[in-house]
């Protein structure tokens, strides 16, 4: 899109509203878009991210994709690295004070962030800023003046703080500063719109208030839903183990996406793809009426997501591998290798499964064998007393469960 030219406002709004949880306020966003169209000046759209971990997962990409939507429409995408605020810690959704990160930890995480973010955003059109550039230089007097612009009573209305007070759980004064610091970021960046997850709503609203206090028009706050993780219950989180990292191998991503429930698939379509809402409605109806098998709809979803991060060729290979292993029950072309030392004594298969970490205990291993979930070189094993001969060099293929293949090499 040429600089200074924009699509009709109604068309922009329809595109930007897809998948959003809330726009505060929508009429203000319309007015800003109309003003932008008249002046030819793009909106400044801010997304602040604290680099508290080195890797980005699909849950992080939901709001990143919305920033990309603004970028696609010709507006200025500001990706703010919260290298200063990461050392404070966002209290949003936290039931206790978060441990402070060192400057070194934050900088190590920053190194990998941009490389991953640029899988979604156009690096040539993205304004990258770091809030340490101004917050790290803020004088004590300036900090006091910032705090004077907001009332403590309103800050304590925040659900995170209120629930901790009611449960006699402590919180520290620096946590009260966090929303003010990220609000001041909006002042410095002169943000017209700020994006965040639904749990960030309080911070975004304070940004609106603080901008007015500093004589600026209030930013529009646009929130995106929390992506539910692979377990179908809790938000996607690395600490919960229900996540998909965008740098994971394509076949790993494909397998994980195929494991989600049929119901959860539709929110992934909505939040992680550019499929228009009418297309998603059509797909849902085809699945409901039996025209399209759910597994095919899910495979299309997995292909689309992987292609966005790793390219079409990688997505196609991942899909072929899935068909080979899970539909045609064949071994993967590149099963992980595990070397075993020769032994004059045979080893009980159940003990070997525990040793290889494909079963957590001997009883679980025996249960897996009884259920017919273990094969050696394509032959199912059902005898829980089965022993494996490790006396001669060689190799064999072990399958445990539906998805785990290991090529075992005796040497």
Residue 378: inside a domain, yes or no?
yes
Domain boundary among 327, 347, 369: 327
pLDDT higher than threshold 50 for residue 202: yes
**Structural domain for 264, as ranges:** 250-327
The pLDDT of residue 378 is 65
For the stretch 272-275, contacts whose Cβ atoms lie closer than 8 Å and that sit 24 or more positions apart, written own/partner, are 272/58, 272/61, 272/62, 272/65, 272/227, 272/301, 272/305, 273/301, 273/304, 273/305, 275/304
pLDDT of residue 338: 76
Among 295, 327, 359, residue at a domain's last position: 327
Mean pLDDT of all residues in 187-196:
97
Higher confidence at residue 385 or residue 89? 385
Does pLDDT of 97 surpass 60? no
267 domain-assigned: yes
**Average pLDDT over every residue of 68-84:** 94
- Looking at the fold, whether 25 and 153 belong to one and the same domain comes out as yes
Q: Are residues 309 and 217 in the same domain?
A: no
Residue 387's pLDDT band, with cuts at 50, 70 and 90, is confident
Q: What is the pLDDT of residues 352-384, one digit of tens each?
A: 888 888 788 888 888 888 877 888 766 778 788
User: Which residue's structure tokens are 């989600």?
Assistant: 260
End residue of a domain, out of 283, 302, 327: 327
Q: What is the pLDDT of residue 9?
A: 95
State whether 180 and 151 are in the same domain: yes
Confidence of residue 219 (pLDDT cuts 50, 70, 90): very high
Q: Is residue 235 part of a domain?
A: no
Does pLDDT of 332 surpass 80? no
So what's the pLDDT on residue 370?
83
**Could you tell me if 72 and 194 lie in one domain?**
yes
Residue 239 lies in a domain: no
pTM for the model: 0.74
Rounded-to-integer distance, Cα 409 and Cα 411, Å? 6
Domain total for the chain? Answer: 3
Model confidence at 134: pLDDT above 70: yes
Of 382, 372, 376, 379, the residue nearest 397 (C-alpha): 376
Domain co-membership, 280 together with 397: no
95 pLDDT band (50/70/90 cuts)? Answer: very low
* Residue 275 pLDDT: 93
Before 25, cis peptide (omega within 30)?
A: yes
Considering only residues 392 and 9, tell me which one the structure prediction assigns the higher pLDDT.
9
Higher pLDDT, 55 or 326: 55
Is 319 in the same domain as 346? Answer: no
CATH number at 178 reads 3.40.50.620
Asked whether residue 244 is domain-assigned, the answer is: no
* 150 and 23 part of one domain: yes
Asked if residue 165 and residue 20 are part of one domain, the reply reads yes
Question: Once rounded to an integer, what is the mean pLDDT over residues 91-107?
Answer: 63
- 80 or 157: whose pLDDT is higher? 80
Do 311 and 347 fall into the same domain? no
**235, pLDDT greater than 50:** yes
Residues 307 and 401 in one domain: no
Q: Which residue has the higher pLDDT, 334 or 259?
A: 259
35 and 135 both lie in a single domain: yes
Between 97 and 122, the more confident residue is 122
Choose the weakest-confidence range: 23-32, 217-226, 267-276, 372-381.
Answer: 372-381
Domain assignment of residue 310, yes or no:
yes
For residue 2, pLDDT beyond 70: no
The token duo for 336 is: 């992980």
Looking at the structure, tell me whether residues 307 and 346 fall in a common domain: no
At 395, which CATH number? 3.10.290.10
331 has pLDDT over 60: no
| 381 within a domain of the structure (yes/no) | yes
**360 is a domain residue:** yes
């Amino acid at each position: 899109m040429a600089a200074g030219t924009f699509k009709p406002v109604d068309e922009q709004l329809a595109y930007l509203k897809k998948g959003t949880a809330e726009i505060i306020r929508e009429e203000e966003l319309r007015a800003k878009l109309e003003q932008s169209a008249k002046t030819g000046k793009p909106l400044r759209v801010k997304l602040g991210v604290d680099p508290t971990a080195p890797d980005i997962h699909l849950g992080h990409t939901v709001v990143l994709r919305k920033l990309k939507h603004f970028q696609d429409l010709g507006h200025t995408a500001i990706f703010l690295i919260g290298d200063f605020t990461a050392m404070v810690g966002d209290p949003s959704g936290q039931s206790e004070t978060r441990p402070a990160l060192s400057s070194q930890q934050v900088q190590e995480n920053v190194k990998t962030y941009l490389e991953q973010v640029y899988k979604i955003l156009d690096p040539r059109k993205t304004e990258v800023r770091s809030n340490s550039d101004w917050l790290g230089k803020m004088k004590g007097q300036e900090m006091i003046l910032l705090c004077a612009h907001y009332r403590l009573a309103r800050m304590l209305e925040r659900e995170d703080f209120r629930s901790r007070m009611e449960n006699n759980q402590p919180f520290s004064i620096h946590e009260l500063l966090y929303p003010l610091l990220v609000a001041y970021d909006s002042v410095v960046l002169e943000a017209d719109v700020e994006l965040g997850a639904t749990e960030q709503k309080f911070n975004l609203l304070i940004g609106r208030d603080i901008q007015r206090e500093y004589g600026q028009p209030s930013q529009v706050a646009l929130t995106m839903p929390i992506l539910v993780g692979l377990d179908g219950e809790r938000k996607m989180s690395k600490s919960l183990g229900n996540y998909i990292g965008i740098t994971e191998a394509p076949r790993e991503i494909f397998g994980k996406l195929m494991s989600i429930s049929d119901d959860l698939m539709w929110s992934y379509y909505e939040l992680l793809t550019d499929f228009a809402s009418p297309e998603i409605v059509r797909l849902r109806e085809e699945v409901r009426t039996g025209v399209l098998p759910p597994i095919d709809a899910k495979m299309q979803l997995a292909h689309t997501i992987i292609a966005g991060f790793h390219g079409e060729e990688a997505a196609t290979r991942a899909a072929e591998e899935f068909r080979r292993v899970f539909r045609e029950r064949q071994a993967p072309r590149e099963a992980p290798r595990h070397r075993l030392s020769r032994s004059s004594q045979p080893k009980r298969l159940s003990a070997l499964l525990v040793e290889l970490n494909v079963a957590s205990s001997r009883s679980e291993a025996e249960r897996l064998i009884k259920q017919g979930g273990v094969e050696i070189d394509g032959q199912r094993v059902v005898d829980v007393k089965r022993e494996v001969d490790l006396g001669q060099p060689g190799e064999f293929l072990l399958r445990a469960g539906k998805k785990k293949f290991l090529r075992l090499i005796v040497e």
